[in-house]
């Protein structure tokens, strides 16, 4: 039977948030970034990024965080779409719609997720069919965390966090994220990290054996103990209230707690869904966290969830998928 190519009208990509299980910060590089050795895990909090042909470039943000996100050309999703258009020689404006569930400026790579989603969705809409490597290269131009939002799962990041190698770990982990109403700027947290260093001679960062052993075993207790983040002292120095959040989480049954990326979100690893509910209640009832999200990880990276037609559905998998990668039942609380 012959098939007829139907032009795509709207393509939606679903993209996860991340937590850094380990974040080792090395010396400052000449380009202003730091050498990193990090282990990312994608978690089941997602943004959906939809693109459709339009008369002119535009962007709409939906959801509780919409007012915190720029709806103009500075939006990372818009920059991603334009970058791909320029590379592929496409002259078709799109309207981007982002349904946001990933907290904004939280250390969970929400902006990076939107950029990855826009790259993947536009690639499908325009029929560019970029190779995985080509999309990863464009992603790295947009931000250090954007390549990981495409890849997902659990992965080691080196360079400035953009050079990825998947980690073959076991286990599914249950997370509680204590959100914050105070802001932390990523460049300021890195600068504070440099300021707090006891010595100017910072060694090259290397991943810890404890983290790799924990991930291989799939044991949440070991992983909880192995969580570490070199940016945490800097985040706590700039926002001392986060100490109390960490203490409250650990006093209420968390297996481990860590500032997520450059913060201010604090991520807690717990045993199971029931413990995640208990901890979410404790964090909000004690007044240390204005809001809490729960999620499991690892989940897969960016993927197409709706498209009218097209030869490929996702970054490394087949298309026309629906539904979240994470187990049902873990939602924001």
By beta-carbon proximity to ligand C5P, the closer residue of 123 and 192 is 192
Report the b/e string of 287-318 with b at 16+ CB within 10 A. Answer: ebbebbbbbbbbbbbbbbbbbeebebbbbeee
Angle between helices 241-251 and 273-285 in degrees, nearest 10? 140
Residue 33 or 57: the one with the smaller Cβ distance to ligand C5P is 33
Q: Does the active-site annotation cover 132?
A: no
Instruction: For ligand C5P, give the closer residue by CB, 79 or 275.
Output: 79
Identify which of residues 176 and 259 has a Cβ nearer to ligand C5P in the complex.
259
Choice among 18, 100, 114, 123 that is catalytic: 18
Active site residue 100: no
From the list 145, 162, 230, 293, the catalytic residue is 145
Binding site for ligand C5P (CB under 6 A): 33-34, 36, 143-145, 160-161, 186-187, 190
User: At 258, is the secondary structure helix, strand, or coil?
Assistant: strand
Least distance to ligand C5P, CB of residue 179, Å: 19
Phi/psi for 268 (5° steps) reads -120, 135
Closest of 7, 54, 81, 24 to residue 308, by C-alpha: 7
**Shortest gap between Cβ of 197 and ligand C5P (angstroms)?**
13
Instruction: Count the Cβ atoms, other than its own, within 10 Å of residue 241.
Output: 12
Instruction: Output the six-digit token pair for 248.
Output: 């409250």
CB of 25 vs ligand C5P, minimal distance in Å? 7
Closest CA to 165 of 156, 173, 174: 156
The catalytic site residues sit at: 18, 145
């Amino acid at each position: 039977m012959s098939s007829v190519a139907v032009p795509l009208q709207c393509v939606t990509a679903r993209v996860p948030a991340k937590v850094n299980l380990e974040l080792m910060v090395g010396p400052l590089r000449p380009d202003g970034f730091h050498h990193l050795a990090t282990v990312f895990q994608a978690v089941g909090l997602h943004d959906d990024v939809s693109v459709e042909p339009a008369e002119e470039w535009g962007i709409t943000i939906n959801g509780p965080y919409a007012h915190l996100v720029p709806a103009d050309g500075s939006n990372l999703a818009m920059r991603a779409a334009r970058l791909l258009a320029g590379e592929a020689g496409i002259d078709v404006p799109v309207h981007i719609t982002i349904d946001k569930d990933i907290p904004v400026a939280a250390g969970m790579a929400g902006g990076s997720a939107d950029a990855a989603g826009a790259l993947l969705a536009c690639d499908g809409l325009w029929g560019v069919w970029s190779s995985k490597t080509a999309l990863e290269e464009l992603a790295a131009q947009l931000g250090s965390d954007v390549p990981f939002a495409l890849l997902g799962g659990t992965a080691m990041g080196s360079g400035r966090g953009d050079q990825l190698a998947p980690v073959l770990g076991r286990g599914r982990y249950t997370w509680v994220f204590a959100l914050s109403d105070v802001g932390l700027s990523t460049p300021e947290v890195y600068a504070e990290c440099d300021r707090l260093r006891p010595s100017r001679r910072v060694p090259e960062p290397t991943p810890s054996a404890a983290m790799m052993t924990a991930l291989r075993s799939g044991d949440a207790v070991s992983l909880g103990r192995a969580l570490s983040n070199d940016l945490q002292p800097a985040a706590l120095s700039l926002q001392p209230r986060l100490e109390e959040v960490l203490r409250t989480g650990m006093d209420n049954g968390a297996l481990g707690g860590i500032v997520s990326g450059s913060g201010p979100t604090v991520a807690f690893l717990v045993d199971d869904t029931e413990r995640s509910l208990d901890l979410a209640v404790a964090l909000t009832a004690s007044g240390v966290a204005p809001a809490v999200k729960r999620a499991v990880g690892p989940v897969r990276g960016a993927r197409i969830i709706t498209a009218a037609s097209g030869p490929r559905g996702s970054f490394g998998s087949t298309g026309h998928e629906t539904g979240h990668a994470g187990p049902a039942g873990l939602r924001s609380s």
